[in-house]
Structure 1
């Protein structure tokens, strides 16, 4: 096995079980590893640190996965890791919910692997060359452990390019999922599109937050921005919202939302679905003087890295400023960021700037986070990417 030695003083993060070793920390590579190979990582004094996946293309040169030198990274190791991850989520799956995240990358000691269950189908995202090398073995284990109808490869994230990997999107095993696959979450039925949908097909990371926010929407006029397949919209309708306006730039998302409204037998007269750029639509609402009781802002990732933080902060500020201006006095704003580079304190500061620009007083009445199937390893705080605030705008 190839051995990698770190520069003097660069072993601290690995000793604290942080899974990333950056290329600038490498002192010596003994051997000629291929991208995705498992290597042994040593401190400058040759103390063993961990096993990890090597990649010559990525700024993260080694992704650590095992700190016990007596372990062998073989098919049994992968099977044990996968079984542990799957077992820890079984309490989530029941008659009301048949979709969740089964494997969450570094949080489950499988850096670069995401597995989502959608009813009888599995969706995989592979984001590291190490997992890519054992993809066939991963599929075989999942097939045997879970007996799904099909396993679909949704490895179309641009993050793969940083690992020198091509985009992949297609069937890995079994049946192709139907164009619109029916799943349940908190008793609400959704049609999702794995092949063409965003991320791995559905945003199951907002499961708890959708349920929590719905409790505030009875009798309210709700605006759901970046609504996608309608998670917040449908939960609001189920809890008795007077009306819901859903805005998304994607035609597929708007069509899927309409199908989901019909699936759940909600009154279509309570729903207005608009295909539009959200910022443009918010300005149109402002110009027309339309106001809402509850507004949801759940935008895509504005800051994919820390280098984009300043630009993202401006975008978040302007979006939230517009949202605050469209609320009735005392209305509620549920605002989110899925950018890992934006921590919760930074997000609160951005909201404070937005409130100042909007001329509004704002109270934080609840803080949102990602659910149990998206755990955060204490040694890897970067895994805590989803944060949100429920604000009362006075």
Structure 2
């Protein structure tokens, strides 16, 4: 292996790194040498040359690499990755033994010790997502380590990094046996049709597992439910299975309709008794206000950033306004499930957004419960950005 490239921590970031912060950025080091290759091993020191950590160079959003070890002698070989995978798998043992749930995350990047990769499990099949060319350079070693650490029926991969100005979302079959699609998995007894060969979005966002269960088990019975940015209709199906009188699913993507019909069908729900609408959510809100429609429950889970012909939405700037529109079409004593996966603000800031929206509409509210990431989406306290999910069940009083 070629010699590690030395990087010196910038003075103001030095203590953060020493405390265990794992992400290397342009501003967190004094200088990144020109021509450094993706996947190069880096060694981080302070200005006195004292060793801080060792990792790899890889461009991931604003990141420039990850610290993977605090041991100066560490080599990133198959044994290194296998140890990390075995530890991670052991921590998910309870999920592996749950017959009602056959889809979950088995390795969550920096939360399990290797920033830049995640691994998800779908009833025997594994999917590795690579978030930089740098970590992808370890591909063969990582795959070998995983195949030797877990009982892998079949392996797929997703490349989630930009190369020469294009954004890659490959979905290659890698090893083992190919899955038949849709691959049927379960989450708390809810069925999900999964397509591991169909781009980055395979059919379910696994981080909302506890939220879907809570909607089904505690809040849906007897309610009319509006599910916005509904994607495959997973929240709608959870609500219908929980006894909702009717669900309305709204999403701009044309394929959301067929995906939602499929989601209802595999769960034995009559999709014709539900409303599935292909429409810009912002337009739908205006329509609902105009028609004086009201719902007992409104589910609001927008992407961090979205663009349609007429609207650009950024969660960081526009969430309060979006929530204010949802409040207007929620019945008195109704529930709003407000969710954001935007990593640039925390739960405290999210609650400020909620307060701002209710101040704008002049309504009172009460937060009934809050959710962050489920236990399989492991995070570390030194990297707060990794704990990105914020969900509040809000009652409009």
TM-score, length-scaled by structure 2: 0.90
Q: SS where residue 218 of structure 1 aligns? A: coil
Match of 2:275 among 244, 259, 272: 272
Give CA deviations for 1:294-338 in whole Å, capped at 9, x if unaligned: 1111111239xxxxxx95344212221111111111111001010
Quote the Cα distance in structure 1 between the aligned partners of 2:253 and 2:32.
47
Give CA deviations for 1:118-145 in whole Å, capped at 9, x if unaligned: 1132222101333201112222222333
Alignment of 1:345-360 (within 5 A): 345-360=348-363
Matched, 1:86 2:89: yes
In the alignment, what sits opposite 1:299? 302
Matched, 1:320 2:346: no
Give CA deviations for 1:23-76 in whole Å, capped at 9, x if unaligned: 234346789752211122111111111101124797433311101224332110
In the alignment, what sits opposite 1:259? 262
Alignment of 1:42-53 (within 5 A): 42-53=45-56
Q: Aligned-pair distance for 1:254?
A: 2.2
Q: What are the ranges of 5 or more consecutive residues in structure 2 without an aligned counterpart?
A: 307-312
Alpha-carbon contact 1:302-1:315 (below 8 Å) kept: no
Give CA deviations for 1:73-101 in whole Å, capped at 9, x if unaligned: 21100110111112211212321000001
Alignment of 1:1-394 (within 5 A): 1-2=3-4, 3-8=6-11, 10-27=13-30, 33-55=36-58, 59-93=62-96, 94-155=98-159, 157=160, 159-160=161-162, 167-196=169-198, 198-199=200-201, 201-214=203-216, 215-302=218-305, 311-394=314-397
Quote the Cα distance in structure 1 between the aligned partners of 2:165 and 2:7.
18
Quote the Cα distance in structure 2 between the aligned partners of 1:179 and 1:13.
45
Change (3 A) 1:27 1:164: farther
Q: What are the ranges of 5 or more consecutive residues in structure 1 without an aligned counterpart?
A: 304-309
TM-score, length-scaled by structure 1: 0.90
Give CA deviations for 1:208-237 in whole Å, capped at 9, x if unaligned: 111112211111111111222222111111
Alpha-carbon contact 2:316-2:344 (below 8 Å) kept: no
Alpha-carbon contact 1:10-1:43 (below 8 Å) kept: no
CA RMSD of aligned residues (A): 2.6
Give CA deviations for 1:233-273 in whole Å, capped at 9, x if unaligned: 11111111111111122232321221121111123354221
Q: Structure 1 stretch 51-60 or stretch 145-154: which is displaced more?
A: 51-60
Q: Aligned-pair distance for 1:288?
A: 1.3
Q: Structure 1 stretch 194-203 or stretch 341-350: which is displaced more?
A: 194-203
Quote the Cα distance in structure 2 between the aligned partners of 1:67 and 1:338.
30
Quote the Cα distance in structure 1 between the aligned partners of 2:200 and 2:302.
13
